Chains A and B, each alone.
Chain A
Amino acid sequence: MTLHRIGIKIPLSRDLQDDARLIPVFHAWIRDQRLPEAILDVADYRHVPESPSLMLIGFDCDITLDREGGEPTLYVQRKQPLNGDLSARVLAVAATAYRVADALLAEPGLAGLAFDERRITVLSNDRLHVANDEAGEAVLHPAAATLAERLWGDAQITRAAGHPRDRLTLHVVGTHNLSPADALVRLQG
């Protein structure tokens, strides 16, 4: 399976209130190359409702405070190919997302921010290889199940009932709370 454009979303349980608080954080991250991924620029779409409000543009992946559908999420979108099978790739992108979440929690300027510790979303951003249909779900579901199993041991996975042309999106709800740091340990274990 050739799906590499994998997206992971982690919902915020406590919002930033003012997204501009992320601007100095993202600029500092670029200056210090804070992440192992190549990060390049900051894109600001705060003026657009329910948009990718603030983005840290990267070469390997984009990292976004996303407000699509009205719910704030941390959204990591892989753009470059990854090694391994689809499950390994989903685990790798999820690890990036939790690593970013953990780094955001450590930022003094973002006090009050919190992530939902029982939910994560996996999506396919490649309509050619994994479309938003039953065939696509059959491909992505096992990889999402592997992720769920690694994080929670057991979890509920449902396909988002959005627009038929939206990207295939699978919501994973775990059985207990798992902080980003703990999630990262489990994914790297």
Chain B
Amino acid sequence: MTTWKDHLGDAIPADWGAEIDHFEAQMNLRKQGKIEDRVFAELRLRRGAYGQRYDNGLRHDGVQQAFLPFPNPQLTKGPDTLWDAPGMMRIKIPWGGFTAEQLDLLADLGEEYSDGILHITTRQDVQLHYVDIEDTPDLMRRLAAVGITTREACGNSVRNVTGCPMAGVCPCEAFDTTPYAEATWRFLLGHRDVQDFGRKFKIAFSGCADGACGLVSMHDMGFIARTREVDGRIERGFEVQVGGGLGAVPHVAKVLDPFVLEHEILPLTQAVARVYARLGEKTNRNKARIKFLVAKLGIDELRRLVLEERAALERDERWDEWVPTARRFQETPLAKPADDSPRDLGDDFDRWCERNVKAQRQAGFVAVTLALPLGDLTSRQARRLADIARRFLRDTMRTTVEQNIVLRWVHASDLPALYEALAAIGLARSGAESITDIVTCPGTDTCKLGISASRGLGGELLEELTARGLQHDADVQNLRIKISGCFNSCGQHHVADIGFFGSSRTVGNYRVPHFQLILGGQWAENGRHFGQAMGAVPSKRVPEAIHRLLDLYRREKSGGESFRSVVERVGRKEIKALLDDLTRIPDHAAEPDLYVDWGDARSYSIGDIGIGECAGEVVSLTEFGIAAAESLLLEAQLALDDRKDTEAPARATGLALDAMIKAAQALIKQQDPDVRDDGETVLQEFQRRFHDTGLFHDRYMGGKFAQFLFAAWEERHERPEADAAGRRIEEATLFLEAAHACHARLLAGDGTPGGGTLKIRH
């Protein structure tokens, strides 16, 4: 039988081919039981093969948890991960750059191994969903034959190195960062010093500090291009930042070095990697990102350690051999326009030009952004886009962190013909980088961690806001909406004007899908400014909440005032009041649609809950307590908003702690209604009853949220700065979310650690 391995032969680079053969052998060993499933899981992840929702073989069908009928439920590819369950394949696209040939291949793979859809991620990767693990070796071989690897796309490794999609053509950049990002990923791929991390490590490059570019400030390590003049000579270098990250609690990266010469970036990165591998947390994965190491050591101590490490490194030729070529790197356009004949395309073309076309710094050329709906395009579109790229460009396409594709080096005179060609394949949607260009993570569609349907909500908003023409409404078109399905921020909600992350609430015996509203984040300046939590809104009422917020913005803004500024000026209290009625949920019989998530038909509630009268009374005490905790949290947030008060951070931190204690006490009341009010007692009882038993543990995050309370208690006498107080409030928000979840699990009779007991239908 012909195989792809035979068919592709020498087209696969020898070392990449050997790695894939090795992975295929590991798959066979796993099937024979000769590799532990835990070990195989990490091996698989490091090859980009990720788990997907329901891959434990169980799915809630709206009534109860039921087994999915996989043919071989005994064989696993990781703990609680069935071999037969479809998974996700993450394909690294370094700095987002790809060719027409590669796009053709991706289109083929999408059809043959996935569901015919290519999904662009917020880190410039391409993801294929519903992939059978048996197909992954061939999928990898075909990618390797066109120069793409999936190695280290997932797992505790250096993930895709991202970069500004306008690098090299942006009028504002210091210089083109593309060759530096390229050198970095090539140097680090499989490097021995990046194999022993406690968690993943993400790197980004930006050409300037002011734009959003590569979102350097929210990365584990980031580089912002700088130049300086020394003795009349221009030197290239980078401001290097470390310790940024979104996740549950966002951290802004700290400056490790304001100017590192270009030939020093790789050894410095290697030194950072070695320090992180040596000192970073390994056992508690929730504290293992480098941002926690930076917070623990302080940036000055980290810098000292890194420089010490750098000085001790043995020289490596690969550190700088690429630098001369990097300086000469230059993409080139087609010599002549492809088709500059005039066309009468009307208003749609003009509006598309207004939002989707940017002038390059090279006169006569433009960059065109394809606004992909929720980052998706079909294989058929991709294949035809590859043809369009061949016609109008010379392999100068990039994915973006806003889940779009940018076509660079388009002759400006080709725009009408290009628009016509894109429109013919459904890729000429206007509104790029506007309020309708909504970013979402996969959420409950495919992600195991998803709480609410981020894509369902995104699709609804996309349709509704576009129908209202908001992408061309001068007042609001530049606002950004970003949605995550849970608190882990894959949808980058912290840096959106209007951000959301998924959560749930319990009403009576039912659960209601919600989204926490985060307002006033900032996309510019490499994502340095995060939004503030405003409370949870039922999923189905999010569109109405957005309309009210947009009306508020229109009413309140003065001149070109930013959304962030209006949010800060109007204040949390007033904004919460504006949305208050939306947060009140009628019972299930009155409005059942609220109890079903977007794009779903299953009841989001747990329909088979049975609660006795006594439990009902205790439950109401608990609900009351958690509601009181929410009020304290709001007070903490309001306190921190008072910038004139120098005591505000300390007061806010104290209130955040009080909120957590109140929520903990509320949970304890389910077991001991007479629990005392003092913090010490609550803490001890909470630890004994909920932490040590695992009752409070999140299925995936373990005891992370309980640790927020313990740390806050330990540090209760310290005097925090405003940013630390902000983090404490974020932690309290998540603690309260965890309390809601724990309460719901207990109501459902699911009282095992991490919510492990499931009602199963055979």
Asked if B115 and A41 make an inter-chain contact with CB atoms under 8 angstroms apart, the answer reads no
Asked if A40 and B59 make an inter-chain contact with CB atoms under 8 angstroms apart, the answer reads yes
Cα distance, A31 to B71, chains bound together (Å): 17
Chain A nearest CB, measured from B664 CB (Å): 37
Asked if A57 and B130 make an inter-chain contact with CB atoms under 8 angstroms apart, the answer reads yes
Asked if A31 and B445 make an inter-chain contact with CB atoms under 8 angstroms apart, the answer reads no
Q: Which of B62-102 contact A (CB under 8 A)?
A: 62-63, 66, 68-71, 84-86
* Binary contact readout B126-168 vs A (1 if CB under 8 angstroms, 0 otherwise): 0001101000000000000000000000000000000000000
Asked if A49 and B426 make an inter-chain contact with CB atoms under 8 angstroms apart, the answer reads yes
Cα distance, A20 to B458, chains bound together (Å): 15
Cα distance, A69 to B425, chains bound together (Å): 9
Residue of A nearest to B372 (CB): A48
Residue of A nearest to B67 (CB): A33
Name the contact of A44 in the complex, choosing from B107, B112, B383, B455 (C-beta under 8 A). B455
B378 CB-CB contact with A under 8 Å: yes
Asked if B66 and A31 make an inter-chain contact with CB atoms under 8 angstroms apart, the answer reads yes
Cα distance, A43 to B384, chains bound together (Å): 24
Residue of B nearest to A36 (CB): B69
Asked if A40 and B68 make an inter-chain contact with CB atoms under 8 angstroms apart, the answer reads yes
Q: A50-B426, A59-B84, A128-B7 are in contact. Are A43 and B112 (CB under 8 A)?
A: no
Residue of A nearest to B761 (CB): A31
A62 CB-CB contact with B under 8 Å: yes
Give the interface segment out of A85-93, A94-102, A138-146, A163-171: A163-171
Asked if B84 and A31 make an inter-chain contact with CB atoms under 8 angstroms apart, the answer reads no
Asked if B115 and A55 make an inter-chain contact with CB atoms under 8 angstroms apart, the answer reads yes
Give the interface segment out of B345-353, B564-572, B599-607: B599-607
Asked if B373 and A47 make an inter-chain contact with CB atoms under 8 angstroms apart, the answer reads yes
Q: A27-B602, A40-B54, A50-B378 are in contact. Are A165 and B108 (CB under 8 A)?
A: yes
Name the contact of A38 in the complex, choosing from B69, B104, B387, B463 (C-beta under 8 A). B69
Residue of A nearest to B55 (CB): A40
Residues of A within 8 A of B2 (CB): 2, 128-129
Asked if A44 and B456 make an inter-chain contact with CB atoms under 8 angstroms apart, the answer reads yes
Cα distance, A174 to B326, chains bound together (Å): 61
A154 CB-CB contact with B under 8 Å: no
Cα distance, A57 to B445, chains bound together (Å): 12
Q: A31-B63, A55-B115, A163-B384 are in contact. Are A48 and B455 (CB under 8 A)?
A: no
Q: Which of B340-391 contact A (CB under 8 A)?
A: 373-374, 376-378, 380-381, 383-384, 387
Residue of A nearest to B64 (CB): A31
Residue of A nearest to B69 (CB): A38
Chain B nearest CB, measured from A139 CB (Å): 13
Asked if A165 and B107 make an inter-chain contact with CB atoms under 8 angstroms apart, the answer reads yes
Chain A nearest CB, measured from B425 CB (Å): 8
A179 CB-CB contact with B under 8 Å: no
Q: Which of B28-85 contact A (CB under 8 A)?
A: 53-54, 59, 61-63, 66, 68-71, 84-85
* Binary contact readout B404-443 vs A (1 if CB under 8 angstroms, 0 otherwise): 0000000000000000000000100000000000000000
Cα distance, A126 to B2, chains bound together (Å): 12
Chain B nearest CB, measured from A142 CB (Å): 20
Cα distance, A20 to B456, chains bound together (Å): 12
Asked if A44 and B459 make an inter-chain contact with CB atoms under 8 angstroms apart, the answer reads yes
Asked if A57 and B86 make an inter-chain contact with CB atoms under 8 angstroms apart, the answer reads yes
Residues of B within 8 A of A175 (CB): none
Residues of B within 8 A of A46 (CB): 459, 599
The binding surface of chain B is classed by DSSP as mixed
Chain B nearest CB, measured from A32 CB (Å): 9
* Binary contact readout B1-30 vs A (1 if CB under 8 angstroms, 0 otherwise): 111100100000000000000000000000
Residues of B within 8 A of A44 (CB): 445, 455-456, 459, 599
A5 CB-CB contact with B under 8 Å: yes
* Binary contact readout A113-154 vs B (1 if CB under 8 angstroms, 0 otherwise): 000000000000111110000000000000000000000000
Cα distance, A127 to B108, chains bound together (Å): 8
Chain B nearest CB, measured from A49 CB (Å): 4
Q: A38-B71, A43-B129, A47-B462 are in contact. Are A165 and B112 (CB under 8 A)?
A: no
Residue of B nearest to A23 (CB): B601
Residues of B within 8 A of A31 (CB): 61-63, 66
Asked if A40 and B117 make an inter-chain contact with CB atoms under 8 angstroms apart, the answer reads no
Q: Which among A5, A40, A79 has the greatest number of chain B C-beta atoms within 10 A?
A: A40
Q: A47-B463, A59-B84 are in contact. Are A52 and B378 (CB under 8 A)?
A: yes
Q: Which among B62, B374, B599 has the greatest number of chain A C-beta atoms within 10 A?
A: B599
Residues of A within 8 A of B602 (CB): 27
Chain A nearest CB, measured from B141 CB (Å): 11
Cα distance, A21 to B111, chains bound together (Å): 25
B116 CB-CB contact with A under 8 Å: yes
Name the contact of A27 in the complex, choosing from B62, B71, B380 (C-beta under 8 A). B62
Q: A40-B54, A41-B53 are in contact. Are A47 and B108 (CB under 8 A)?
A: no
Cα distance, A30 to B63, chains bound together (Å): 12
Residue of A nearest to B66 (CB): A31
Q: A31-B61, A43-B130 are in contact. Are A57 and B378 (CB under 8 A)?
A: no
Chain B nearest CB, measured from A77 CB (Å): 9
Residue of A nearest to B376 (CB): A48
Excluding A23-B599, A40-B86, A51-B376, 6 further A-B contacts by CB distance (< 8 Å) are: A20-B599, A27-B601, A46-B599, A52-B378, A57-B86, A59-B84
Tell me the B residues contacting A by CB distance below 8 Å: 1-4, 7, 53-54, 59, 61-63, 66, 68-71, 84-86, 104, 107-108, 111-112, 115-117, 129-130, 132, 373-374, 376-378, 380-381, 383-384, 387, 426, 445-446, 455-456, 458-459, 462-463, 599-602
What are 23 of the A-B contact pairs (CB < 8 Å)? A23-B600, A27-B601, A30-B61, A31-B62, A38-B69, A40-B59, A44-B456, A45-B376, A46-B599, A51-B117, A52-B116, A57-B86, A59-B71, A62-B115, A62-B130, A68-B380, A69-B380, A79-B132, A125-B111, A125-B112, A127-B112, A163-B383, A167-B111
